[in-house]
Amino acid sequence: MNGQLDLSGKLIIKAQLGEDIRRIPIHNEDITYDELVLMMQRVFRGKLLSNDEVTIKYKDEDGDLITIFDSSDLSFAIQCSRILKLTLFVNGQPRPLESNQVKYLRRELIELRNKVNRLLDCLEPPTEPGVSTNLPESG
């Protein structure tokens, strides 16, 4: 034996939660959907809570994200690829949770956008689409 792991025929799961990507070798391909969810909660401990609503999707041969809804979807996904690329969506979001900092910045940016729009409205009257404005000619 040359010291390398023999991964031939083994299933590899690459799971992504936000920017965090984990690589997990699977020895039992008869994994159920519930076991997969429990595994994801262990792998992403601290980022994934047991009461979070988790949607798991895999990338198919066309690069599309296909939802895994139950164990039969999971076994079909495993048949399609030896490296199963999963993306986890938590509570409908592709990243775990919004931090207070992100919420604060979002509010600030919305306020700035509204201020800029008000200032632009003061500079020139809004024009209707398709109506040309007559600019004074210099002469």
**Structural domain boundaries in the chain:** 12-90, 96-123
Identify the DSSP state of 74.
H
**What is the arithmetic mean of pLDDT over 33-48?**
89
Distances (CA, A) of 32 to 12, 73, 77, 133, 137: 15, 10, 12, 65, 75
Considering only CA atoms, which of 26, 32, 28, 2 is closest in space to residue 14? Answer: 26
Placement of tokens 């994994």 in the chain? 31
> Global pTM?
0.58
Q: What percentage of the chain reaches a pLDDT higher than 90?
A: 25
Answer whether residue 52 shows pLDDT above 70.
yes
- The string of pLDDT tens digits covering residues 7-29 is 455 789 999 988 889 999 988 77
**What is the arithmetic mean of pLDDT over 23-50?**
87
**What is the arithmetic mean of pLDDT over 129-139?**
56
φ and ψ at residue 108, rounded to 5 degrees:
-60, -45
**What is the arithmetic mean of pLDDT over 27-43?**
88
Tokens of 50: 């047991």
CB count within 10 Å of CB 15 equals 21
Top pLDDT among 1 and 27 is at 27
On whether the 12-90 domain is CATH 3.10.20.90, my answer is yes
